Amino acid sequence: MNILILLINIITILRFTCAQNDCDVINKLLGKKQSDDCCSEKGITCTNGHVSKIQLTTDKLILSDSNELGNIISSKYFYILPELGNLTNLEYLYLNGNNIKGSIPPELGKLSNLVQLKIQNGIISDPIPPELGNLSKLEELELFNCQITGSIPSSLGNLTKLKHLMLNQNKLSDVIPFEFGKLLNLEELDLSRNELTGSIPPGFGNFTKLITLNMSDNKFSEFIPPELGNLSKLETLNLSRNELTGSIPPELGKLSNLKSLLLNNNKLSGSIPKEVKKLNITINVMGNPSMKKFSILYIVIIVIAIILFVLILTAFRNLKKIHKKRKENESNRLSINSKNSNTLNNGTFTSSTSQ
Ligand SMILES: *[C@@H]1O[C@H](CO)[C@@H](O)[C@H](O)[C@H]1NC(C)=O
Ligand SMILES: *[C@@H]1O[C@H](CO)[C@@H](O)[C@H](O)[C@H]1NC(C)=O
Ligand SMILES: *[C@@H]1O[C@H](CO)[C@@H](O)[C@H](O)[C@H]1NC(C)=O
Ligand SMILES: *[C@@H]1O[C@H](CO)[C@@H](O)[C@H](O)[C@H]1NC(C)=O
Ligand SMILES: *[C@@H]1O[C@H](CO)[C@@H](O)[C@H](O)[C@H]1NC(C)=O
Ligand SMILES: *[C@@H]1O[C@H](CO)[C@@H](O)[C@H](O)[C@H]1NC(C)=O
Ligand SMILES: *[C@@H]1O[C@H](CO)[C@@H](O)[C@H](O)[C@H]1NC(C)=O
Ligand SMILES: *[C@@H]1O[C@H](CO)[C@@H](O)[C@H](O)[C@H]1NC(C)=O
């Protein structure tokens, strides 16, 4: 009996100690007293005595009693502390708020159980640490609207479990790393509103699970790779506002699930291929000065139609003339006949004219 109680006590102490290590980090993050039980804080979830989920709306202005996810933070800025990397049981880390400042600490790469990492609307002017490429369980990475600079680290190509990758609305530059070709489980990829350069990698055509691809508002140049036509699940392809050249590949006509194709404001030439037109979807190609407004086929059809119209018109006129002539002839003949019939049989003629 005594042994059992002792055991329970030991377990309780152990659990508390584990949670306390984690809570030391959370309390520092939130500016709370070190003795606080962080597991009862709004936005903090503990599982088996460890912090497993952090979901904080850090912006004071957004925080209110009605927001059950938020936390009141008295400091003006919210810093993502390197100590967060010690929360090895963390599975979800969401931080949202325009008071998030500083950089993303490389120590976050130690969170080997992390499944989702989302940092939104902060003021992070530093690059993405390459260490995030060590988060081998990561399925969702969203670092958007955070003013992040630098290039996309090639190590992110190692995050092969990624389904959602949103790096939109930052200041990312340089080309897309070759290693991205390994992200074969991607369902949603948003790189829009950055300063990315180079071509759209043909390897994207291997992302057969992709549903949304948004690369709008960058500086992507060169041709649209025909390999994109292999993305059989794709519903939205947004390549608008770039510097893409060449013509639209007819292979895009294979995208049977496509709902919208946005290619506006580029430097594309040629016309919309008939394979793509057949898709019966919204296609925006406005703002491509070199693109032909009408296809040659269209012009040929119009020309043939005009020629046919003129021919029919002249034929009709000629027919009318012939008809008129014939009528004239007929009436001439009739008047001759009537003169004759008048003299022969007066009654027959009057009855036929009164009909
Ligand atoms: C927590 O993280 C910090 C900074 O990354 C490190 O210096 C410290 O040793 C860690 N503490 C524990 C208990 O692991
Ligand atoms: C994490 O990634 C960095 C850079 O990508 C690498 O140098 C480091 O060895 C990695 N650490 C671990 C523990 O895998
Ligand atoms: C990706 O992972 C492999 C194997 O784990 C490793 O050898 C390589 O250095 C990693 N690449 C990057 C860019 O971190
Ligand atoms: C697409 O995947 C195949 C098979 O893994 C590979 O051989 C090919 O090089 C990839 N394509 C591109 C353009 O990376
Ligand atoms: C990118 O495109 C997708 C699909 O059209 C859309 O849902 C998303 O909001 C776009 N991203 C931005 C930053 O507008
Ligand atoms: C395409 O992406 C841009 C972001 O650059 C967005 O504003 C626009 O709404 C997207 N278009 C569609 C139809 O989703
Ligand atoms: C992908 O598309 C390219 C070009 O359209 C084609 O040559 C290739 O065979 C396709 N690959 C697969 C796996 O469908
Ligand atoms: C084209 O799409 C519209 C609505 O998106 C639909 O009503 C119409 O039947 C479609 N036409 C063809 C030929 O598929």
Give 176-203 as a DSSP string.
Answer: PPGGGGG-TT-SEEE--SSEE-SPPPGG
Question: Residue 309 — φ and ψ, nearest 5°?
Answer: -60, -45
214 alpha carbon – ligand 5 mean position (Å): 6
Q: Of residues 254 and 38, which shows the higher confidence score?
A: 254
Task: Specify the amino acid at residue 294.
Answer: F
Q: Is the pLDDT at 214 greater than 70, yes or no?
A: yes
Q: Which pLDDT value is given to residue 67? A: 32
CA of 108 to the centre of ligand 2 (A): 11
- CA–CA separation, 275 and 248 (whole Å): 10
Lowest-confidence segment of 81-85, 113-117, 331-335 by average pLDDT: 331-335
Tell me which H or E stretch contains 330.
Answer: helix 296-344
Task: Look up the CATH superfamily of 42-61+78-298.
Answer: Ribonuclease Inhibitor (3.80.10.10)
Beta strands 50-57; 44-47: pairing state: antiparallel
Does position 5 have pLDDT exceeding 80, yes or no? Answer: no
Task: Answer yes or no: is pLDDT of 343 > 90.
Answer: no
pLDDT at 337: 59
Q: Check residue 77 and give its pLDDT.
A: 79
- Rounded to whole angstroms, the Cα distance separating 57 from 29 reads 13
Predicted pLDDT of residue 117: 96
Domain chopping of the chain, boundaries? 42-61+78-298
Average pLDDT over residues 50-55: 92
Q: How confident is the model at residue 66 (pLDDT cuts 50, 70, 90)?
A: very low
Evaluate: CB of 264 within 6 angstroms of ligand 7. Answer: no
Q: What is the DSSP string of 107-127?
A: GGGG-TT--EEEEES-B--SP
- The residue whose C-alpha atom lies closest to atom 12 belonging to ligand 3 is 155
Predicted confidence at residue 72, as pLDDT, reads 52
**In this structure, which ligand is nearest to the CA of 135?**
2
| 3-state class (DSSP) for residue 251 | helix
Dist CA 282 CA 26 (whole Å): 48
- Among protein residues, the one with the nearest Cα to ligand 3's atom 1 is 158
Tracing tokens 């070709």 back to the chain, one arrives at 181
Residue 173's nearest CA partner among 147, 134, 210 is: 147
337 against 276, higher pLDDT: 276
Give mean pLDDT, residues 231-248: 95
Mean residue pLDDT of the chain comes to 84
Residue among 174, 178, 182, 184 nearest 201 (CA): 178
Query: In this predicted structure, what is the pLDDT of residue 37?
Result: 84
pLDDT computed for residue 347 by the predictor: 43
**Quick check: CB of 155 below 6 Å from ligand 3?**
yes
Q: What is the pTM of this model?
A: 0.78
How many A from CA of 83 to the centre of ligand 1? 6
At 146 the pLDDT is 93
In percent, how much of the chain has pLDDT > 90?
A: 55
> What letter would DSSP give residue 69?
T
Residue 6 has pLDDT above 90, yes or no: no
Output the CA 27–ligand 1 centroid distance in Å: 14
Instruction: Decide whether any atom of ligand 5 lies within 6 Å of the 238 Cβ.
Output: yes
Ligand in closest contact with the CA of 157: 3
Which of 92, 157, 163, 169 lies closest to 130, judged by CA? 157
182 lines ligand 3 (CB under 6 A): no
Return the best residue to mutate from 185, 186, 206 for the ligand 4 pocket (most ligand atoms within 8 A of CB): 206
| pLDDT recorded at residue 307 | 87
For residue 27, which of 105, 86, 68 has the smallest C-alpha distance?
86
**Least confident span in 38-42, 72-76, 231-235, 304-308:** 72-76
Judge whether 165 and 143 are in contact, CB under 8 Å. no
User: What residue owns the CA closest to ligand 3's atom 9?
Assistant: 155
Residues with CB under 6 A from ligand 2: 109, 130-131, 133-134, 155
**pLDDT score, position 349:** 45
**Separation CA 328–CA 339 (nearest Å):** 16
Q: Evaluate: CB of 275 within 6 angstroms of ligand 7.
A: no
Q: Is the pLDDT of residue 65 over 50?
A: no
Question: Which atom of ligand 7 has the smallest separation from the CA of 230?
Answer: 1
For residue 152, the CA-to-ligand 4 centroid distance in Å is 21
Give residue 29's pLDDT band: very low, low, confident or very high (50, 70, 90).
confident
